[in-house]
Amino acid sequence: MKRTVMLIMVASRKESASKVQQILTGWGCMIKTRLGIHDGILDNCTETGLIILEIVGEEEKKVEMERKLNVIPGVIAKKVDLELA
């Protein structure tokens, strides 16, 4: 069994969130699971966030999504492949 996850750190949510969302919407059919995590609630929201995606599809498209996310200033994306032997 092989799974691919994408870890996305967002340094400045107010400046980068809409660009990240636009890319994720464009690649939405590849996203099986999405989890967003940030510290704080209501008036104490932090500027940083972590998005965890489980993605499916062709390897080339996964790599392209990672590349497009990494072009956004303040965003770091890492694709991780996990496989049980």
Tell me 74's DSSP state. T
pTM across the whole model: 0.89
Q: Which residues of 18-57 are buried (b: 16+ CB within 10 A; e: fewer)?
A: ebbeebbeebeebbeeeeeeeeeeeeeeebebebebebee
pLDDT at 16 over 70: yes
Q: What are the tens digits of pLDDT across the range 31-83?
A: 999 999 877 766 777 788 899 999 999 999 999 999 999 999 999 999 999 99
Q: Give me the domain span that covers residue 37.
A: 2-83
Cβ distance 35 to 6 under 8 Å? no
User: What is the count of structural domains for the chain?
Assistant: 1
The CATH number covering residue 49 comes to 3.30.70.1150
Q: Is the dihedral of CA 63, 65, 74, 2 positive or negative?
A: negative
Q: Quick one: tokens of 30?
A: 């590849």
The average pLDDT across 14-33 equals 94
